Amino acid sequence: MEGLSPEQQRQFVAELERRRGSQGPQGFEAAAAGAETIGAAPFATRNIGGLPSITQALAVLPGIGGLLGGVLGGGGGPATALGGAALGGGAGEAFSQLGFRAVGGKGPETSGEAAKGIGIEAAKQAVYELLGRGAAGGVKALGKGMVEQSVRPTITMQGEFPNVIDTIIKERLPVGARPFGKKKGSEMAAARLGEESKAVRDTLAASGKTFDPRAITDAPLKKLEGDVTRAEAVNPGGTKALQELVDNFLGSKSAPVIGPVKPMSALEVQELKQTSQKIAKPIYKALARGENVGTEQSTKAQFNASVASGAKKAMETIPGVAEGEAKKQSLIGARKALRRAEERRLSLMAESASGIAGALGGALSPGGGMDDKAASAVLMWGLTRGLLHPRQMSRAGLALTNAQALALLKQFPRLGDMLVSVSQAEEEESPK
């Protein structure tokens, strides 16, 4: 500053001050100014620790209400779920309006506007519930179809085990072994069948209940006696064969033949049922094949089927046994179906589709020489064949029928709307 006049020195200092002011506060001054700006922002719009602000949380209350209402009402069926979602969405909107008023935010100016907003949110949440359920239902149906296509149960098996696919899905049983897994789906079904069989036996043993063999067989054998008597003219000898079977049956349960019959324990009744079924089943299979088994064998099959039916009804008077027997039957069907699927080769349709995909992949591959086209063809063939293989298809189907995944999918329309609401709240809070 030496060599400058006092007036020039004053002008120089003034210019420095002006430039400092145009650059804004620096250092500690800048930090203090920033803190002052943050403190001036409304508390309800602050994002503390990366969490949503109060106003952002209030914006998604209708969606949360719709979600909770749909879940709580889901037990009563689709109609109840839609009503629950509508009520929850309306309640969420009402609380959202009250919250915005409490923090000094924007809200309806009249009661009419408030009621209109509540009605709109109730309708929106009902629509989101309907759309979500439709999407989840479609995906679940697709997954079930994939599982059925991978297992391909025969018509005979479907007749004997009508719920075989539902059982495979419920028990999460794949075709073959999982990656790095040791047990195949059929082996997993067998293991669970063993567990359920033990549980039923334990229930029978713990019951301490006894049964009169005559009471077990009285009703089914009376019906069978009427059927045999009516068929006597066409198949002579049926009545005599039936009487011998009844006498032998009661005689094996008492000593001497004439006199009181020894009561049977619950486990003995179960053994009687299983033995009778083993005797009747091959005869019925022979009849189904059109073989001539004769009157005596036919009557024997009917008799044992009737005894098995009476024993089953007697067992199921013990609490928990009917459910266990039904689950055992469904697991038997699942084990048989999976075992057949694991032994089956890829279907002709799948082989053809993978071959066509390979040819198209090679023909449509962009540029390159014959080696590149051949590599593309092999890659497409391998990918298509792998996806159409029963093992991969069953796993994809089980994934699409997963309860947790379907529950999340059902909320996609609602979650999308909630994200939009949060985004709009952020835009409104951002400085202009």
Task: Note the pLDDT tens digit of each residue in 355-366.
Answer: 555 455 555 555
Residue 144 has pLDDT above 90, yes or no: yes
Which 8-state DSSP code applies to residue 49? G
DSSP string, 80-118: HHHHHHHHHHHHHHHHHHHHHHHTT----SSHHHHHHHH
Q: 17: which strand partners? A: none
pLDDT, tens digit, for every residue of 192-225? 999 999 999 999 999 999 998 878 777 777 777 6
Residue 78 has pLDDT above 70, yes or no: yes
Residues 9 and 80 in one domain: no
398 close to 142: Cβ distance less than 8 angstroms: no
Residue 419 has pLDDT above 90, yes or no: no
Residues 274 and 191 in one domain: yes
Token pair recorded at residue 155:
């018509």
Residue the block writes with tokens 């002011």: 21
Residues 190 and 316 in one domain: yes
Residues 224 and 354 in one domain: no
62 inside domain = yes
Mean pLDDT, the chain, rounded, equals 76
Q: What is the pLDDT of residue 345?
A: 66
pLDDT band at 36 (very low <50, low <70, confident <90, very high): very low
pLDDT, tens digit, for every residue of 278-291? 888 888 888 888 88
163 inside domain = no
Residue 140 has pLDDT above 90, yes or no: yes
Residues 194 and 326 in one domain: yes
Residues 97 and 24 in one domain: no
d(CA 344, CA 122): 52
Helix (H) / strand (E) containing 68: helix 61-73
Residues 214 and 322 in one domain: yes
Residues 255 and 377 in one domain: no
Residue 129 has pLDDT above 80, yes or no: yes
316 inside domain = yes
Pick from 142-146, 273-277, 378-382: least confident: 378-382
Phi, psi of 323 (to 5 degrees): -65, -45
Rama region for 323: left / alpha / beta (φ>0; ψ in -120 to 50; rest): alpha
Q: What is the pLDDT of residue 215?
A: 80
pLDDT band at 334 (very low <50, low <70, confident <90, very high): very high
Which 8-state DSSP code applies to residue 264? E
Phi, psi of 264 (to 5 degrees): -110, 140
Number of H helices, E strands in the chain: 19, 2
For CA atoms 11, 14, 16, 18, the dihedral sign is negative
Domain count, the chain: 4
Domain membership of residue 291 as a residue range: 185-343
Rama region for 209: left / alpha / beta (φ>0; ψ in -120 to 50; rest): beta
Phi, psi of 265 (to 5 degrees): -75, 170
330 inside domain = yes
Residue 404 has pLDDT above 60, yes or no: yes
Tell me the CB-side half-sphere exposure of residue 118, using CA atoms within 13 A.
17
Q: What is the pLDDT of residue 270?
A: 92
pLDDT, tens digit, for every residue of 296-312? 788 788 888 888 888 89
166 inside domain = no
Residue 44 has pLDDT above 80, yes or no: no
Count the residues in the chain.
432
d(CA 146, CA 152): 10
Residue 171 has pLDDT above 60, yes or no: yes
318 inside domain = yes
Residue 377 has pLDDT above 70, yes or no: no
Residues 214 and 254 in one domain: yes
41 inside domain = no
For range 6-24, the mean pLDDT: 59
CB neighbour class for 429 (10 Å; exposed up to 12, middle 13-18, buried from 19): middle
Token pair recorded at residue 415:
């979650």
R_g of the chain computed on alpha carbons: 38
Residues 238 and 333 in one domain: yes
Residue the block writes with tokens 């005596």: 296
Q: What is the pLDDT of residue 110?
A: 84
Residue 258 has pLDDT above 50, yes or no: no
Amino acid occupying residue 126:
A
Residues 302 and 329 in one domain: yes
For range 240-267, the mean pLDDT: 64
For CA atoms 188, 193, 199, 205, the dihedral sign is negative
Q: 210: which strand partners? A: 265
pLDDT band at 30 (very low <50, low <70, confident <90, very high): very low
400 inside domain = no
Residues 212 and 300 in one domain: yes
Residue 19 has pLDDT above 90, yes or no: no
